Amino acid sequence: MFLDRDGVINALVARDGRLLSPRLIEDFTIIPGVQKAIEKLKWMGFEVVVVTNQPDISRGYLEPSLLHKMNLKVSELGVNKVIVCAHSDEDNCECRKPKPGMLEQYIKSSEKKYSSIWMIGDQETDVIAGALVHAITILISSDNRLNLETSARYVVTNLASAVEIITEFTCNDQSKFLAKDTTQI
């Protein structure tokens, strides 16, 4: 289970007339219901991996020590791993979403065989990265714009709603019982 961080796990902050990633630890707030949603995913057997673009690091707007504190708060929710791309668009790296580098890195580093892969994010870049690793994609549109143009398989308003879809999907997916020794991500 791959999750984006900002807008999925923590709230975005209003800055420069837009909703953006927090740059201060006091602005880093976990969205209500996220803790329980992650607990349910873990209970269902998913490894929960956060993959997050954090270009404010390379742009000099966010100190690496503050990013570390924010990611510690995310880790305390019970996620298995947090993977960060600190590059900006100009760096043209392979890890920055929409490229699938962070997701591929985790999949390749794991010795497990996955029976299903999911990607949940709040931007089309998350959906594209997920699609490139053949993940089932869910777009969170927290501003209730559920009629967005997206290539995501599902569009919901929050992580708890995404987990409801995943629960229904996995309960109806009998093929997961055919392969023992497989994990879900």
Q: Give yes or no: 89 in active site.
A: no
Q: Where is 169: in which H helix or E strand?
A: helix 159-172
Tell me the two tokens of residue 152: 């995501």
Among the listed residues 4, 56, 122, 126, the single catalytic one is 4
Rounded to 10°, the helix 34-43/159-172 angle is 20
What does the buried/exposed string (b/e) look like for 28-57 if buried means 16 or more CB atoms within 10 Å of the residue's CB?
beebeebeebbebbbeeebbbbbbbbbbbb
158 in Cβ contact with 30 (< 8 Å): no
Q: Single out the catalytic residue among 6, 56, 122, 126.
A: 6
The residues that are catalytic are 4, 6
